Amino acid sequence: MPLFNLNIVYMYNKRYYELNKEMCNNYKKKYYLKHREKYIKMAKQYAIDHKDEINEQRNQIIECICGLTYKQCRRTRHIQSKKHKIRELQAVYDGLQPIFKRARDGLEFVKKL
């Protein structure tokens, strides 16, 4: 059984951070600038070690709601394309058709009364 409650420790740390946010951020910035080369080397080493996993994730094929497929690394390009925008609007319009039909039927029912 722990000697202290972890929730209390968490709340203390959170409150300390909220009260001293600027000081903590300045410390992090200084630490990063001091150890920047170390972080760059670590990032490069990680990219080399996990090259296959990264490429697999980037080349994952995703099916969009507009009906087209794209690779993860080309997501922004696809979202900004004219084909996507037109097909997305068409999908939204088709999805709203039943709602419009029900509303129109409701208005007709009210007019009959």
> SS3 sequence, 49-88?
HCHHHHHHHHCCEEECCCCCEEEHHHHHHHHCCHHHHHHH
C-alpha closest to that of 65 among 55, 56, 75, 73:
75
| Cα dihedral 65, 68, 74, 80 in deg (nearest 10) | -70
Quote the pLDDT of residue 4: 63
Run of H or E including 11: helix 6-19
d(CA 72, CA 58): 5
d(CA 7, CA 14): 10
**Confidence tier at 97 by pLDDT (50, 70, 90):** low
Q: Tell me: the pLDDT tens digits for 27-79?
A: 999 999 999 999 999 999 999 999 999 999 989 998 887 788 999 889 899 88
Quote the pLDDT of residue 85: 86
* Mean pLDDT (the chain, rounded): 83
Quote the pLDDT of residue 93: 75
Quote the pLDDT of residue 103: 56
**Confidence tier at 26 by pLDDT (50, 70, 90):** very high
pTM value is: 0.50
Q: Which residue has the tokens 């094929």?
A: 61
Compute CA 46 distance to the chain's CA centroid, rounded to the nearest angstrom: 22
